[in-house]
Amino acid sequence: MSSDAVSEVASSVSRGRPSVGWALLGSEISVLFRRRRTWAMLAVLALVPILIAIAVRVTRSTPNGGRGPAFLDQVTQNGLFVGVVGVLISIPLFLPLTVGVVAGDSIAGEASAGTLRYLLIAPVGRVRLLIVKYLAAAVFCLAATLAVVVAGTLIGIALFPVGPATLLSGDVIGVPETLIRSLLVSVYVTISLLGLSAIGLFISTLTDVPVGAMAATIVLSVVSQVLDSIPQLDWLHPWLFTHYWLGVGDLLRQPISWDSFGSNSVLQAAYIVLFGALAYGRFSTKDVLS
């Protein structure tokens, strides 16, 4: 295309109707997954179940049922559970760590790179930017969870026998059913991380220092888990965004108990609304001086 033709095209369409703006979401997700940091975090997450599986395989010891996370003792009989074990081990720290990095970086990272002002004068629209940033963080939550579950399931199939699995309720389910349960666990864990993402997004609007926002988000997830383990504060527990994080077990009973799934979803939605509103309140009127 000659340059004249290009400028002609550009001038003829430039003042048309605005697009809905899916291009920005696509761009946001592609930028997220073009960063080496994102892939490094996903690789570390995938290593968690791989290391567990190798450790169990090499020592050939069957940990006794009382110690270690649920299902660890089942791994040697059924490799399909490695993914679920990996995700249970990653929930308290590894997953919130990576989600904290992505959510905390969302606005503060753009501010510190100097790209925030260029997005705003494009003009991106401040609300639209918050929504796109949040959706990208949610996509990362899913990718992070799947990295653990998929890597765990694959290494499990490679190192251990595959067959019917025994659930917490004592029932036995077949291979396809086990894979479906693993996917359900992934969905549960992804939803569990959505509240934390909203908190990270809000903190990210408060500062131009991305590391600070990341650290604050991660610390909050740890604090919430500590509070959740103090029995004297049991009145507070149902309100903590980490309260249902380890409720995954309910999906591994027969029949499935949907209680924690429902309560968790409602709780996470409440956190999204609350911190989404706070992020909007802060960011929509903020002077961008970075």
Partner 1 sequence: MTGDATAAIETRGLTKRFGSHAAVSGIDVTVPRGAVFGFLGPNGSGKTTTIRMMLGLAAPTSGTIRVLGHDMPRELHSVLPRVGALVEGPGFYPYLSGAANLRRLDTADRFAPSATRRARVERALERVGLTHAARKKVHAYSLGMKQRLGIANALLTPRELLVLDEPTNGLDPQGTREVRNLIRSLAAEGTTIFVSSHLLAEVEQVCTHAAIMSAGELVAQGTLDELRGVGRSELRLLTPDAGLAIHVLGSFGLSAETTDAADGSALVTATLLGQTAEPDALVAALVGGGVRVRGFSIERPSLEDRFVALTGEGFDVVQ
Candidates 54, 55, 114, 223; binder of partner 1 (CB under 8 A) is: 114
Site for partner 1 contains 284 (CB under 8 A):
no
We find the least distance from the C-beta atom of residue 147 to partner 1, in angstroms, to be 20
Joined tokens for residue 279 = 């992020």
Candidates 11, 64, 229, 232; binder of partner 1 (CB under 8 A) is: 11
Distance CA(94)–CA(43), nearest Å, equals 12
Joined tokens for residue 79 = 């490799």
Q: How many residues at the interface with partner 1, by CB under 8 A?
A: 41
Tell me the window of 56-64, 109-117, 161-169, 275-283 that interacts with partner 1 (CB under 8 A): 109-117
Distance CA(233)–CA(44), nearest Å, equals 34
Candidates 59, 67, 121, 235; binder of partner 1 (CB under 8 A) is: 121
Site for partner 1 contains 18 (CB under 8 A):
yes
Burial per residue of 82-103, b for 16 or more beta-carbon CB atoms within 10 angstroms, e otherwise? bbbbbbbbbbeebbbbbbbbbb
Distance CA(144)–CA(49), nearest Å, equals 13
Site for partner 1 contains 35 (CB under 8 A):
yes
Site for partner 1 contains 3 (CB under 8 A):
yes
Q: Is the Cβ–Cβ distance between 139 and 29 less than 8 Å?
A: yes
* Amino acid (1-letter code) at residue 89: I
Which residues sit at the interface with partner 1, rule CB under 8 A? 1, 3, 6-7, 9-11, 13-16, 18-21, 23-24, 26-27, 31, 34-36, 113-125, 129, 285, 287-289
